[in-house]
Amino acid sequence: MFDLIIRNANLPDGRRGIDIGIAGEKIAAVEVGLPGEAREVIDATNRLVSPSFVDPHFHMDATLSLGLPRMNVSGTLLEGIALWGELRPLLTREALVERALAYCDLAVGQGLLHIRTHVDTSDPRLVTVEAMLEIKERVAPYIDLQLVAFPQDGYYRASEGVESLERALDMGVDIVGGIPHFERTMQEGAVSVEALCRIAADRGLPVDMHCDETDDPMSRHIETLAAETVRFGLKGRVAGSHLTSMHSMDNYYVSKLIPLMAEAEINVIPNPLINIMLQGRHDTYPKRRGMTRVRELMAAGLNVSFGHDCVMDPWYSMGSGDMLEVGHMAIHVAQMSGLEDKKKIFDALTVNSARALGLENYGLDVGCHADLVILQAEDVLEALRMKPTRLAVLRRGKVIARTVPKITELQIEGRPERIDAGYNPTARP
């Protein structure tokens, strides 16, 4: 006896027509023709059922603030940082909470139930930290939220940057952040990496740094981050976010760097939407793409997952909380358009990012949390292509969001009357 059975599910690994039995908050059975009854049955009609999406890199304290107090005119990363600096003194806990809750609503509707957000610790008021700690607690029934102490204006470069980060961790922030390429000098950047890894080791916390988010091939803080990871015994607990300078580095140097990163078991978190938007801005033509070397890093066995990074904030005026939009862009920017490539990209939005975040009981195995999303698509390829409607989203075995399927009614003689969102007209009546 189950509480809920999802019948006729296609799974991301390619299995089709599978039944998923859910008991309480957990997956209790995954098999074809599952016998038994349930209080509720959902027929997935051979649609894709995936573990819920995971965003390993976001800025929830900045989201939905677009236009406050003004727009980013140049559209650049540096004007974005300056603009955030203008907005920061105007931030209130109430407004931060309201915007974050609104974003979480958007995320849930799209099956995004696990988010790691960087929280700016540059303002010694730490109103951002207070607000995000409140949000973490309030959304806990439906979203796993991890908080990174993020010294946006530089750990050393901002006045009180060192003390503020320490206080944020004391208040209960989960992860140590950093931004070495934004410190005053390369050397200060390297020193900040060492200091922040030491704090993480002392406190037993993970590390997730904005690292080398620049087109400068000489920005090599990832090398220091990997080395300090090994030295402080933090293997597997450290993430390098962005790593865009790797795009521009000399190939010989990278041939030494990637094995070092693999030794340190660095979690690599590119942000395709933001990287393609903000990098290469100083180039005329040829113009660099500025996303890190995804294919090569995956081939070397590194855990690569993709972040959304921004939605309607000083850095990025677009975005929708849809991780499939992130995957769609990743396919293009990384030029990973092959069949196996795309499957890897889907994994990078789900299982890889769950691993980066250290999520427990994530996935589709028996015993995992029943955190699931049913998509209006047959398989992962169609999902990545169409960014389809999330028909139902389950959290711990309960449906928490539904969206009506997208159906087009055609009024053209001699053509079908109904197109199921145009996904695969030959496969459905």
Which residues are at the interface with Zn ion (CB under 5 A)? 309
Q: What is the distance between the alpha carbons of residues 83 and 235, in angstroms, rounded to a whole number?
A: 36
Q: What does the alpha-carbon distance between residue 396 and residue 369 come to, in Å, rounded to a whole number?
A: 6
Residue 237 phi/psi, 5-degree rounding, is -105, 10
Residue nearer to Zn ion on the CB measure, 309 or 382: 309
Q: How far apart are CA 49 and CA 267, in angstroms?
A: 26
345: enclosing H helix or E strand? helix 339-349
Report which secondary-structure segment, H or E, holds 353.
helix 351-357
Which residues are 240's β-sheet partners?
209, 268
Query: How far apart are the C-alpha atoms of 98 and 109, rounded to whole Å?
Result: 17
Q: Contacts for 191-194 with beta carbons within 8 Å, 24 or more apart? A: 191/156, 192/154, 192/155, 192/156, 193/221, 193/224, 193/225, 193/228, 194/224, 194/228
Closest CA to 221 of 243, 251, 248: 243
**Nearest distance from C-beta of residue 118 to Zn ion, angstroms:** 5
Q: Which residue has the tokens 């109430």?
A: 94
Q: Is the Cβ–Cβ distance between 168 and 150 less than 8 Å?
A: no
Neighbouring residues of 394: CB distance < 8 A, sequence distance ≥ 6 = 4, 22, 52, 370, 371, 372, 373, 400
Which residue sits closest to Zn ion, CB atoms considered?
A: 309
Shortest Cβ 229–Zn ion spacing (Å): 20
Cβ closest to Zn ion, residue 309 vs residue 322: 309
Nearer to Zn ion, 119 or 380 (CB): 119
213 is catalytic: yes
Residues 50-76: b if buried by 16+ CB within 10 A, e if exposed: bbbbbbbbbbbbbbbbbebeeebeeeb
Q: Compute the least distance from the CB of residue 179 to Zn ion, in Å.
A: 9
Crossing angle of helices 161-171/127-139, nearest 10°? 20
Q: Report in angstroms how near the CB of residue 273 gets to Zn ion at its nearest.
A: 11
Give Cα separations from 358 to 23, 175, 225, 253, 351 (angstroms). Answer: 24, 12, 19, 30, 10
The token pair that represents 426 in the structure block? 């030959």
Q: Which is the catalytic residue, given 37, 40, 166, 213?
A: 213
User: Residue 91 or 364: which CB sits closer to Zn ion?
Assistant: 91
Nearest distance in Å: CB 244, Zn ion: 11
Quote the least distance from Cβ 149 to Zn ion, whole Å.
13
Q: Of the two residues 144 and 309, which places its CB atom closer to Zn ion in the complex?
A: 309
CB of 89 to Zn ion, least distance (A): 21
Q: Rank residues 38 and 145 by Cβ distance to Zn ion and give the closer one.
A: 145
Nearest CB to Zn ion, comparing residues 212 and 309: 309
Residues designated catalytic: 213
